[in-house]
Structure 1
Amino acid sequence: MQKRRNVAILIYDNVEVLDFTGPFEVFITGSNRGQDFHVFTVAENNSPVTALGNLSVNPAYAIHDCPKPDIVLIPGGWGSRQEMHNKVLTDWIGKCADESELLLSVCTGALLLAKAGVLEGLKLTTNRLATDELRQVAPASAEISETARYVDNGKIIMSAGISAGIDMSLYVISRLLGEERALHTAKLMEYDWVPIEHS
């Protein structure tokens, strides 16, 4: 029997709301009533996080006390420009890249992955409007796609801006549990998802 995977979704001040709530919705909807995914938010500490638009969110765990994650998702938003310089978070992301099954990024969450030093030689994508910012911090060996909705590097999967995180998360479910599960998840969400060949 397939073990239930822990899905840790990082949140921080000024995180883009749909960057983390979209994938959260996908993984809980696609979890077969919690049997296949245990989805939770995690932050640097236990204090409430103020997402964009002053949405206050209580993280379920701090990074030092969360269940060992199998899948880690790093969202973007204006706050990513500050948090990419937060060594506590980038060190944690680097550790997750070593120890987790999958490391995912949405939008400018890619900046944190770049600062964590885990993108050497990979194909990258981010919000179209942040491509130049990513280029400044990405390793020279990486290739940035300005057209892909998401890119699959094996362990590290990255998506473009905001709503692309939903598409990527459905793709991750299809990769792990089969396309039928992903299509059923999209149907439950009344989300118009068409499986595409990833770049």
Structure 2
Amino acid sequence: MEQSRQARNVAIFIYENVEPLDFVGPFEVFISGSNRGKDFKVYTVAENDCPVKALGDLSIIPAYTIAACPKPDILVVPGGWGSRKEMLNETITTWIREISNDVEILLSVCTGALILANANLLDGLKVTTNRSAIHELRSIVSDATEILEEVRYVDNGKIILSAGVSAGMDASLYVIEKLLGENRAANSANIMEYDWRRK
């Protein structure tokens, strides 16, 4: 059953000027919900193996490059000011588009939605992003895409999008609930002493 399956790989994509809590929040959530690594193996991945400077000059050494990372079951695409550059990076948008065919869950946080939009993954879906970037998202998605402004996260099945920053933690807890049940998600929130805000 669920306990006997191999741990799911959770790849968290990082890039220059990524918002720290957009990626560290989900990282912490999946670690807290991993049953001491039995259910989730969480790692960072970047375009190359150089140290990545997040907003505020937080320096992170990615665990893997996109060319050499273990196949993800869950891919988290965070936001931040750097998303405006990465959304135009064809290497990244192509990688995300291709890997989206095989992942179980693709989760964007905040303006990570802009990257998914330019990877042509949001057509016809219900989407959200940071409230301050709704206008940017609206300018690049098709009329078939429905933008929700007052939600913490929205589930389209495989593709889940969250609003800004801390909403990525709420969406990550929702993913744990979806995959492993409400008790596991609630326990993960308790471990972090985090007040889980649902939709």
Q: Among residues 135, 139, 144, which one is paired with 1:141 in the alignment?
A: 144
* Partner residue, 1:32: 35
1:116-195 equivalence runs, <5 A: 116-194=119-197
* Partner residue, 2:113: 110
How high is the sequence identity, in percent, across the aligned residues? Answer: 63
Once the two structures are superposed, what CA deviation does each residue of 1:48-79 show, in whole Å capped at 9, x if it has no partner?
00000000000000000000000000000000
Once the two structures are superposed, what CA deviation does each residue of 1:125-157 show, in whole Å capped at 9, x if it has no partner?
000000000001112210000001000000000
Distance in structure 2 (CA, Å) of the matches to 1:30 and 1:72: 16
Give the TM-score, by structure 2 length. 0.97
Supply the RMSD in Å over aligned alpha carbons. Answer: 0.7
Distance in structure 2 (CA, Å) of the matches to 1:117 and 1:90: 8
SS of residue paired to 2:101: helix
Distance in structure 2 (CA, Å) of the matches to 1:2 and 1:173: 15
The gaps in structure 1 that reach 5 residues or longer are: none
Give the TM-score, by structure 1 length. 0.97
Q: Which amino acid in 2 is paired with 1:187?
A: N
1:91 matched to 2:91? The reply is no
* Partner residue, 1:22: 25
Distance in structure 2 (CA, Å) of the matches to 1:4 and 1:28: 12
| Pairwise CA distance, 1:2 | 2.0
Q: Among residues 59, 63, 81, which one is paired with 1:56 in the alignment?
A: 59
Q: Which amino acid in 1 is paired with 2:49?
A: N
* Partner residue, 1:2: 5
C-alpha contact 1:74 1:105 (8 A) present in aligned 2: yes
* Partner residue, 2:69: 66
Q: How many residues align?
A: 196
